[in-house]
Structure 1
Amino acid sequence: MLTTSSYAKDAIKNEWLGNKIGITDDVPEPFAPIEISNKSIRLWKKEFLLSARASVFDNINILGKQFLSGPVEVKPYNKKVLTPLRSSETWRKNSLSSFHFIKKTFYEGFILENTVKVEYDGFVSVTTNIIPEKQIELTHLSIEIPIKKSFATLYSHYFLGTPLEVRKVFGNKNDFKGYLMPDKDIAFEFSPAVWIGNEEMGIEWFSDTNAGWILENKEKAIEIIAGKENTTLKINLIYKSTSLKQAFVFHWGIMPTPVKPFPDLKNYIQLYTAQEDSAEHIINKWLFPIDKEYSKLDEAAKTGLKSILIHQLWNEFPGYPGTFDEKKKALLKKVVNEAHKRGLKVILYIGKDMPVDSPEGKKMMKSFIKEPSHIRKRKALRKYKSFTTDANRFYNDFLIYKVKILIDEFNIDGIMLDGHNMVVPCINQRHGHGTKINGTVIPVYPISETRELMKRLYWLFHVYKQNGIIIAHAETPFLPSLSFADLRWVGEGLVWRWRNQYSASENKPITQLLPLEEFRGIYAGYNLGIPLIFLAKPKVGPMIAKDRISSISLIHGVLPRFQYPPLTCPEKCDDQDKIIWEIYRNWLDMSENGKWEFYPYWNNKGPLKMLAPNNNAKLSYHYNDKKDEAVLYISNFDLKDTRAVVSVNGKDGDNWICSPITDTLCKINKNQLEVALKAMGYGVIKIRKAAKLL
């Protein structure tokens, strides 16, 4: 095991503490500067409407549509809602990146003050302060967000009861879960984030803690009220007869989605990456010549690969954001140089676990560590001990400083963050997390600090070094931090769900583990504005094998990811890797040949229609109307083989042909496509008019 004696002496200095890297008013692309009028705050595809009657916002427009059915309010009750006497609004100093205002609403005996900050990506932070002029009585105080019913078909939030094995791994009893919106009222205990929306748009409410909330029944901290015309998200800060003599302050926020433009096919494909364990492996395997002048790295670039992720073995400690080994430095520089010669980007893995024996781990563990936590003995890859960090002022400064060194010294193009955008509860009061009430420390979910970390990293890779890539590897869609990721890697959480809910030999549809509505709510990406790649883990059970992952991800317009491209075959790839590679290559060809529209199964207004079988089969497709070509993704979530029939919109006698990419039988009779699908299988099929053969 390595010790601090292995490192340069100056490595243990805290020269990074207090740095201002990435703390700026810059508005990086693809975001746009804020525009302000006396009635609204305008961002990309979002508009916050202001008025005297609303204590926060009068309404919110998303993608040109009025999303709410009424104002965003903080409402006080004393058996019934209280009537305000008057209100005032004060604007503070503002910039192109943020807008601040204070809204005061005057009631009999107290003032309700909301201090609001809107940032360029739609992040809204609110500090609400009840200021009594005398002792007042309240029975209820709630944040109320009424959403038009047509936009409130899905919802997601943290939920309790995740199995103990998962909690041990992730250090948290919570997970994120998505649902179809029921046509009845629902209530649950405090969650740091709740999202409500549909497949197109939505809004996320969040708060970093429930410390100080006054509730008679903690199971009613959050309610979703089903009305005839609207669905209201109701956050109950006080739900008990209460006398207030002093100020009552709490912090919360909202964020409309999508947070930024979703990339088109051409830009999405640029984010796809292949993985190798270390710089040494790339040199020994990828730079190994096929002939005297042509290597596998040349072949990778020629056949369409855009970037390489170097995973956990590029340095001494897997996950640590740097290396002190001169040999490893030289290898990394060589790989980056060789990749750049071929137009390939290089992305480095950075973990959220901090090695105990790293210089900063020894010196700063008490300030870095997330509590409650424990020291983990890592047996895989290399033997070492680590602890879990969270976003806080010490760790943020450290990571930003170290990543800037990686850019300056090695000219890397991006980073893959393993869990950094996730928000988990912490009670480490050394770095300001946790509130002690009646002898109990109430945890903090450090939403603002996690967002600040991701925001500063985004500046590094999109302003300081342009055209970089930040990959966020996390299941949880916390939008305040995910706003500053270019890509999400998801799917690993399914492994833990599967291991705790099913036996290894069970062979059931993946939709039992991951319902389609949950995929649409928290994974599909269009409604959030963050594209994703779905991980297909090797050597797992049948329910989450690579073909099952492909069957559910492709119908949502999401590429599954091969762990290793076929260029490293035969030692590391299998038949499914080869199929995924071919699908990727097909998407690459599509991205370079005209405009392709994606028609998903949940909103198919295009020319192809599924005629049969029942609802256990789903059809989505890309269509190019100028070329009369389509690429179909058809998945069978039934336990039996089936025959799918698809209607192709064309004139009678049009001569179409089908060309399967997967091992799928298909035929076209006039304008009907027939596809044979295996039980719980899928097919990817290209169709085109015979007169337009490539």
Structure 2
Amino acid sequence: MMRPIEMRSLSGILSPEMSVRTIDGLGLRFEYDALRQKIMVEVTARSARFITKPVNASIHLTTLNGKVLLSKSLPEIWSKGRDHTIIDASKLKAGDYFLTVSLMNDKRELLGLLSLLINKPESSDSMLKPLQLGIGVNIRRFLIKRKLEILTDLTLFRRDAKRVRFVIRRNGKVLTEKENQISHILDLDLNLKERELPYINEIFDISSIPPGPIETEVSIYNECSTLLSRCVLAVDILEVPKWLGSKTGLDDVVPQPWTPVKVHDGVVECWGRKYVFKGFPFPEKIETAGASILSSPIRLKAEVDGKIQRWDRKEILKCDSSKSKATIISIASSENLLLKGESTIEFDGMIKIDLEVSSSKGRGISSLILEIPFKSEHAKFIHYNDCSWSYIHEPAKITSTIKLPFMPFVWLGDYDRGLMWFAESDEGLSVKDGSKIIEITPTRENGVETVLLKIHLIDEPQSRIKNFRMTFGLQATPVKPIKNGNPSHIRCLRIPIFKGMDRKKLWLPESVTYPAKGNINISNGTLEMWLIPLIDLKDEPPGAPEHFIFTLDGKQFVYQRFQVRLRWIPKERSLWLYYYRSYEYVYVLKASEISWRAGEPHHIAITWGDYIKLYIDGKLVASTPHRGLMLKEDFDDDKAKIILGSKNRWVQSPYIIDELKISSRELSPNDFCLNSEARIDDSTLLLDHFERIRKSDEFRTTSPARISSLSKRNGGVLSDGATLVKGKFGLGVRLAPLTKPKTILEISKELGAKYVFCSEDLVDDVHKHGLKAIVGAYNQYEIQTKWPIYNFKDEIQRFPGHILQFQPHNFAVSVCYNTVMTDFILEDLKRRIEESDIDGFYADGTSSPWKCTNEIHGCGYTDTYGNRKPTYPIFAVREMMKRAYVLFKKFKPDSLLFYHMSAIWAVPTLSFADICYGGEQFYREEAGFLFDLDKFRVEFAPNHWGLLCMYHAVVGPALTADYLLTLTTLHGSMISSDGPELAYKRAEVWRVLDSFGYEDAEWIPYWKSQRLVRCSSEAVKVSVYRKEGSALLIVANTRDKPVEASLYIDVHALGIKEIQEAVEARTGEKFLFYDGRLTVKIKPKSMLMILVS
């Protein structure tokens, strides 16, 4: 007789997640401590069904005849998605038992049940071999295809399971059932990876089952028909959605700013480009941005059995066209090969080429290479990517041969134009060395300097390949016109505006920043300060920005932060002290129900040693064990900072801070300065009474009573709006400007914005302020559990992808747009336009056709070795984006479609973006980092792409507000603002441009302005706005040292009879123009905006 599963001790051979990892299912595992005779039972229950209402969960131990020996509740299932309990097994007799977990909703309706047969043996000897026990059942719903898949993890039953029974019921009635006999023993290695674990799955056709709830039951039996495990899960069968098959955005139109396609004698013209076809499916000549970029025709070089093939005959068989596209069918032949092709050229210049090469005499194709020869002056740079952040590539100059594996996107170009080759997969390619599929070589052909782009398709001397098919694409850039060659007319503010914020008046934050070196001891210490709110905290709406009070920035990698921070959370009315370590909260201390009144002083103290403790007004409110304030490896002594308030985040700091004191030892409440101003003692590292401000050319600083000489700073650096006002004792520092508070929409107007980001329910209020509303819609690269499309995740999920857990039952799942996701998105966007009158959307990662292997929706392929390989759904993503563009431009011609695409320049999809948002890949650069100007130009200048580029700015030690604003203004690019500092500085630049009248001016970037302005220093670059009688010079110091330089100005070339005045347009500083030159001094990584007239 096959035995039930024994209880055994656990030594961690398998990860606890391996048997129970699920987001739409139920899992159970247990460990047995033979020494103490304790059973630890853990239940994992994560499902979209558990997100809206609390779940009642309990665990039961019963005899085989159903007698309940023990019951325990699992209260944290709903709040955490998992829970565990301990069962005392010392009094259990040897024998068999059922361990059962059940989950019900608040109506006592069954959501899930899982039973497991366990056995307590007679002898403890059998408990010595370590083994983890667990069982997991997963449900996948294919609601479009009307299929239901039940997956059961049989790791636990690798020797015992002989029969699995699947049943689907509704209201107790069996609707369908299946049984699966297991004919072999699963004798498995316990060290298998999760993807190798033995799942048994069964697929049910549910097309005849009406919509509504059902129960799925899985029962596992041994060879004696003894029940080993039973699992019941409640599942909802939904109706086929109304949005399926949506026609929205499918209008056959040519949206602005493109022009209709024109075709004559094999020449296809679309906006700004001309493609000439002469019998091959690819163009022999390409003109873009006023230049012919090919040194000779694109060619397909072929060999059959080692013999070079000459294409003796080629012709265009058919050419059809409409306003939106042209289709050319062509044929060519050689001695042994027949080449057929269909080329579709759309209004934005994208060419889709379906290529077929077949051996006419049955011989093998031994070599096939697509060659695209560029004139070298039009192929100075290369940009490529594989649609992943694991292969982020910055643009590079082409100076020598470059060899690459398959890449879905490769662009070659110059400062004004280029050509992108792209393909969805390498399926069908047969190349010996997969690392050299793509080759870029500078060479000389027929006396012309050439850069040759080769795509190796077949490289098999003994090839038996007689037929080759491939689809790829070409697209010349720029893809559309850019207004005045400069995108400053689009002014978008990424500032969080949520419900409750439209009428809430607030101040944007100010800050005081100290070097941490010598001013804090992270092993032992105390921080004290007096905090005086400027507002009644109880009046803050839950959606208000958080209050940043104190931050210790240990390492400054921006997104990858290593920080200790004190902040007040409006939504929770609680004060948080936490240590955040690169996407992980190491500790969090909370003081709840903090609703202080305006003007009410409160003493805050934080102590650290073996425990972290938080005190308010001398009373301990929270503590946790942790050695030191933060780990030593997270604290860079030379770069760490102590910050009061904030200046580079959209948060608040509505407080006056007084008597900041940091000590080198852990103080007790008796040592706190609660009744008088703080005093210096032998443990004082930093003490600032905030009584006086020092001013220099560079900074305003406080005048601390004590500050470490190691910090190389004589005080805390104050932001522009931070001031000294009445504090607890004498003066204190006010972390908010001395202005009237304003609503976030009033601030947006003040900052010069035309478009703002907001939630959908605030669109009307945004419009009332004369602003346009950009919303975050569902068209993202991942979906969340609470979104309606989540019910269809099993059909739209991307593999390989990710699953991120936000809350216990709220997940983010990466999706693929080669699915019904597109129909859902288009109907949802149409609804948002009609119901909420939105002016555009922000989409994160959607323009990138991420690789996918999910065969459920047709992605991926299986190679000759049986391996699943990815495809990149370029044309599906393009179709989704084109439909969205057509929809919005039909109803909202000035709408803004905003795609976050950092580093992934997918031109055929981004063609339908209004703004390409990038730069996130540079966040981790450290102090001293300088951009290579050529690389920055290729990445962010709009000219050669024909696309508006916005730099995704997060200010850091290397990427300061001044530096980022300098670079983007110099290149005619846009920049977002991660906080008030950059937003206000950018607003100054906008005001200068408006005052000058830039929209009527000619934009001349620095790489073309040398005939107008020359500079004595290579570090200084000058871009020019020119109009009759005046010019605005963007004079940028691109290095990290101050520069004094002379600008030699050709007055007549600039269009000015004589220069009577030269003035810095923001500060009013005047410059002397003498003998054809201006002399300027420029701070490191900053710019001057000099108006000459």
> Shorter-chain-normalised TM-score: which range?
0.7 to 0.9
8 Å Cα contact 2:752-2:987 kept in structure 1: no
8 Å Cα contact 2:419-2:475 kept in structure 1: yes
Partner of 1:139, secondary structure, is strand
Do the aligned partners of residues 203 and 265 (structure 1) sit closer, same or farther apart at CA in structure 2, a change above 3 Å counting? closer
Match of 1:217 among 415, 433, 449: 433
Note if 1:70 corresponds to 2:296.
yes
Residue of structure 2 equivalent to 1:567: none
Residue of structure 1 equivalent to 2:977: 562
1:206 Cα deviation (Å)?
0.2
Q: How does 1:185-334 map to 2 (within 5 A)?
A: 185-228=401-444, 229-244=449-464, 246-264=466-484, 268-285=488-505, 297=745, 300-301=748-749, 304-310=752-758, 314=759, 332-333=760-761
Note if 1:354 corresponds to 2:354.
no
Distance in 1 (alpha carbons) for counterparts of 2:1020 and 2:809:
46
Q: Which runs of 5+ in 1 are unaligned?
A: 160-169, 315-331, 499-505, 565-572, 690-694
Residues 532-590 of structure 1: CA distance to partner in whole angstroms, max 9, x if unpaired?
1212214x3x11232222232222111322235xxxxxxxx23x432111112223334
Note if 1:370 corresponds to 2:586.
no
Distance in 2 (alpha carbons) for counterparts of 1:173 and 1:234:
24
Distance in 2 (alpha carbons) for counterparts of 1:27 and 1:70:
31
Q: Which amino acid counterpart does residue 360 of structure 1 have in structure 2?
A: I
Partner of 2:1007, secondary structure, is helix
Distance in 1 (alpha carbons) for counterparts of 2:49 and 2:1076:
69
1:144 Cα deviation (Å)?
1.2
Distance in 2 (alpha carbons) for counterparts of 1:241 and 1:663:
72
1:240 Cα deviation (Å)?
2.1
Of the structure 1 ranges 646-655 and 114-123, higher mean CA displacement relative to structure 2 is found in: 646-655
Distance in 2 (alpha carbons) for counterparts of 1:238 and 1:86:
22
Match of 1:682 among 1086, 1089, 1092: 1086
Of the structure 1 ranges 40-49 and 640-649, higher mean CA displacement relative to structure 2 is found in: 640-649
Match of 2:983 among 573, 577, 582: 577
Of the structure 1 ranges 11-20 and 229-238, higher mean CA displacement relative to structure 2 is found in: 11-20
Match of 1:175 among 368, 392, 395: 392
**TM-score normalised by structure 2 residue count:** 0.54
Residue of structure 2 equivalent to 1:489: 917
8 Å Cα contact 1:3-1:357 kept in structure 2: no
Do the aligned partners of residues 260 and 593 (structure 1) sit closer, same or farther apart at CA in structure 2, a change above 3 Å counting? closer
Partner of 2:483, secondary structure, is coil
Distance in 1 (alpha carbons) for counterparts of 2:284 and 2:388:
40
Do the aligned partners of residues 436 and 155 (structure 1) sit closer, same or farther apart at CA in structure 2, a change above 3 Å counting? same
Note if 1:133 corresponds to 2:133.
no
Residue of structure 1 equivalent to 2:929: 509
8 Å Cα contact 1:664-1:675 kept in structure 2: no
Distance in 1 (alpha carbons) for counterparts of 2:1051 and 2:389:
54
8 Å Cα contact 1:84-1:107 kept in structure 2: yes
Q: Which runs of 5+ in 2 are unaligned?
A: 1-46, 54-211, 213-235, 508-539, 541-737
1:442 Cα deviation (Å)?
1.2
Residue of structure 2 equivalent to 1:322: none
More strand by share: 2
Q: Which amino acid counterpart does residue 978 of structure 2 have in structure 1?
A: Q
Distance in 2 (alpha carbons) for counterparts of 1:485 and 1:345:
17
Do the aligned partners of residues 456 and 346 (structure 1) sit closer, same or farther apart at CA in structure 2, a change above 3 Å counting? same
Residue of structure 2 equivalent to 1:164: none
Q: How does 1:461-480 map to 2 (within 5 A)?
A: 461-475=888-902, 476-480=904-908
Tell me the percent identity: 23
8 Å Cα contact 2:1059-2:1092 kept in structure 1: no
Do the aligned partners of residues 35 and 257 (structure 1) sit closer, same or farther apart at CA in structure 2, a change above 3 Å counting? same
Of the structure 1 ranges 529-538 and 74-83, higher mean CA displacement relative to structure 2 is found in: 74-83
Do the aligned partners of residues 112 and 296 (structure 1) sit closer, same or farther apart at CA in structure 2, a change above 3 Å counting? closer
Residue of structure 2 equivalent to 1:162: none
1:302 Cα deviation (Å)?
7.2
1:303 Cα deviation (Å)?
6.8
1:593 Cα deviation (Å)?
5.8
8 Å Cα contact 2:485-2:1003 kept in structure 1: no
**TM-score normalised by structure 1 residue count:** 0.83
Do the aligned partners of residues 223 and 5 (structure 1) sit closer, same or farther apart at CA in structure 2, a change above 3 Å counting? closer
Do the aligned partners of residues 117 and 594 (structure 1) sit closer, same or farther apart at CA in structure 2, a change above 3 Å counting? closer
Distance in 1 (alpha carbons) for counterparts of 2:293 and 2:485:
27
More helix by share: 1
8 Å Cα contact 1:135-1:244 kept in structure 2: no
Distance in 2 (alpha carbons) for counterparts of 1:521 and 1:63:
16
Residue of structure 2 equivalent to 1:636: 1038
Q: Which amino acid counterpart does residue 66 of structure 1 have in structure 2?
A: S
Q: How does 1:545-556 map to 2 (within 5 A)?
A: 545-556=960-971
Do the aligned partners of residues 11 and 683 (structure 1) sit closer, same or farther apart at CA in structure 2, a change above 3 Å counting? farther
1:276 Cα deviation (Å)?
2.2
8 Å Cα contact 1:135-1:245 kept in structure 2: no
Residues 303-349 of structure 1: CA distance to partner in whole angstroms, max 9, x if unpaired?
74211112xxx3xxxxxxxxxxxxxxxxx44x322332343210012
Residue of structure 1 equivalent to 2:1003: 598
Partner of 2:983, secondary structure, is helix
Q: How does 1:365-404 map to 2 (within 5 A)?
A: 365-378=793-806, 384-404=810-830
Distance in 1 (alpha carbons) for counterparts of 2:1065 and 2:959:
23
Residue of structure 1 equivalent to 2:548: none
Residues 208-248 of structure 1: CA distance to partner in whole angstroms, max 9, x if unpaired?
10122100111210011212321111111112224345431
Match of 1:608 among 1005, 1008, 1013: 1013
Match of 1:423 among 839, 842, 849: 849
- Greater relative CO, 1 or 2 (CA 8 Å, sep 6+): 1
Distance in 1 (alpha carbons) for counterparts of 2:352 and 2:321:
15
Cα RMSD (Å): 3.1
Rg larger in structure: 2
Q: Which amino acid counterpart does residue 60 of structure 1 have in structure 2?
A: I
Do the aligned partners of residues 238 and 121 (structure 1) sit closer, same or farther apart at CA in structure 2, a change above 3 Å counting? same
Match of 2:942 among 507, 510, 525: 525
Distance in 2 (alpha carbons) for counterparts of 1:635 and 1:383:
51
8 Å Cα contact 1:271-1:469 kept in structure 2: no
